[in-house]
Copies of this chain bind each other. A is one copy, B any other.
């Protein structure tokens, strides 16, 4: 063979790992790679069936490695590679199956990402780490010796012995799989592909060679349920679908669902049935769209808030409805997917991320896993706003978490013209500080209301109401225009305008005619919500002894819609450089995907969650004080000027009232960046 040194071994360098070794001529590349720990994938175990072990041979002189590499230093492609090309797509000209090509001279071999077992799965979010692919379930192709009257041992014994001989695995084999084993072995001509969980347990058996299995990352929210179907071999998301949580008919907010469970003997089971039915609908729709059989789904990862977590697991949520808010289980839960009634492969495994506390769920754990505050020296503030807001604050040194009882105002509930963020909802509001002329933008249209073609571009529903981000912008704009006091009073006397409408002893501000108004009560609701959120944040900052945070991440749908300048102007979140604040979308769902694709991440989040210090706002005396302090718009007197700088060039006409009280917390932390004195603890 050309280039094969006769007296010395051939030198082979693998990239990108840089691992190198010397091998006798005739050694298959895959064997060589595995021998020195190079990460090359294979499902078929070197039989030229799966094509997962493809590599690229470089041509040329590589002085750094002291070798001259050439594709001619590999055995020429043989029958197995031809057959592989016929059965599948033909191999690219420079690709070889490393299980078939043997070493015949010095080589520089590149293992492309798609041939690596632990490839990096790139996520869409720009600033997020890629996921290292290492799922809990893997496929292994096995040749099993046929049954023979002369040889003792059952079909199972021979399968397990073959798994050990061919893959070094000694997994358990659940009795439930015995039912079909004999038929599958014979249907596959004494070859099967087995799915093995954690190298320890066989979950499923398919006849012959099988190339792909799938998993679902599922985010069970109070309002929506979202599922992401992933290829466990590549990490790719094949399909993402969402749907409304059908439990909504038992109550929009979680507490009404808990009440339902309390009041009806079968209430909790009914709620469990509904959420599981919805999960099954998503299984059906995502697999159908991706052209995958539900039986090919073998692994599931769930994130949920504590109440949805309990309902999904079939646990009554009533204990979470009142003090001491006892979780049945807090740690991560592993269970057979069939125990959740999920119609996927009967052997599929399900995993629910751990809950952090009675009010801070596995969804927040998912956000943490996604955003990794525990891996950075920077102090990160994570805020996930739903019906309540979960807040996580800290760094690699220490993490704190709490739930702030914001109520659903940020979701548009308890607001006179409020509605969920959906097409037709006002999401942007601008008020001319002089004329009080008001421009709006609605979800489903790119145009402002003063732009030509606005009416024509409206979604079919027209303008239906105002969503959380819209009402927040309206309130901040009213404050900037000087028609809202820092106390949150709509000052009807400040200006004469048809938009300022008297309503008994208070005023409302008309956004769209007299149909969509911001009433005094609406302002109060938003004030209460933002004060609750901010008080939670202040409480955690106080505990962590920091006066500022280095970066802020807003998770969830609300975080994606809000303009962070307005959130900051309202005082929802503390001061922070604007470019250090970002919305991270469905970070909880991303966390579920990470847990689905990387088993180490499960241990990571379990360990991080164990170390999170839970702060209970309900019993913390300081919370009440922080709450009262945070009612003002914006947050404390020194905030006002700073907030105004968020809107350069805008005239700020802020009305102060005698009731304005400076924030204690803010006073105390007059030097930003320094920790409050220890003595303050004793107050």
Seen from chain A, the residues whose Cβ lies within 8 Å of a Cβ on chain B are: 147-150, 152-157, 173-176, 178-179, 181-183, 313-316, 319, 323-331, 333-335, 339, 355, 357, 614, 616, 618-619
Closest 6 CB pairs of A and B: A147-B326, A175-B335, A154-B330, A149-B324, A154-B327, A156-B329
Residue of B nearest to A613 (CB): B152
Docked complex Cα distance between A4 and B460 (Å):
94
B148:A182 contact, CB within 8 angstroms: no
A178:B147 contact, CB within 8 angstroms: no
- List residues of chain B with CB within 8 A of the CB of A327: 154-156
A155's partner among B173, B326, B614, B619 (CB-CB below 8 A) is B326
Contacts A154-B328, A175-B329, A178-B315 known; list 15 others, CB within 8 Å: A147-B319, A149-B616, A155-B327, A157-B329, A173-B329, A175-B333, A175-B335, A176-B335, A178-B328, A179-B315, A181-B328, A181-B329, A182-B319, A182-B326, A183-B316
Docked complex Cα distance between A598 and B284 (Å):
47
- List residues of chain B with CB within 8 A of the CB of A333: 175, 178
A154:B326 contact, CB within 8 angstroms: yes
Docked complex Cα distance between A153 and B148 (Å):
55
Say how far A178's CB is from chain B's closest CB, in angstroms.
5
- List residues of chain B with CB within 8 A of the CB of A183: 316
- List residues of chain B with CB within 8 A of the CB of A179: 313-316
B149:A331 contact, CB within 8 angstroms: no
A-B contact pairs, 18 of them (CB 8 A): A147-B324, A147-B326, A148-B324, A149-B618, A154-B326, A155-B319, A155-B327, A156-B327, A156-B331, A175-B329, A175-B333, A176-B335, A178-B328, A179-B314, A179-B315, A181-B328, A182-B315, A182-B319
How many copies of this chain does the complex contain?
Answer: 2
B324:A175 contact, CB within 8 angstroms: no
B316:A154 contact, CB within 8 angstroms: no
- List residues of chain B with CB within 8 A of the CB of A316: 179, 182-183
A156:B328 contact, CB within 8 angstroms: yes
Say how far A264's CB is from chain B's closest CB, in angstroms.
15
- List residues of chain B with CB within 8 A of the CB of A325: 149
- List residues of chain B with CB within 8 A of the CB of A154: 326-331, 355
- List residues of chain B with CB within 8 A of the CB of A156: 327-331
Residue of B nearest to A318 (CB): B182
A175:B614 contact, CB within 8 angstroms: no
- List residues of chain B with CB within 8 A of the CB of A173: 329
- List residues of chain B with CB within 8 A of the CB of A314: 178-179
A174:B328 contact, CB within 8 angstroms: no
Docked complex Cα distance between A619 and B333 (Å):
52
- List residues of chain B with CB within 8 A of the CB of A153: 330
Docked complex Cα distance between A174 and B335 (Å):
7
- List residues of chain B with CB within 8 A of the CB of A614: 152
- List residues of chain B with CB within 8 A of the CB of A176: 335, 339
Docked complex Cα distance between A558 and B41 (Å):
59
Residue of B nearest to A317 (CB): B182
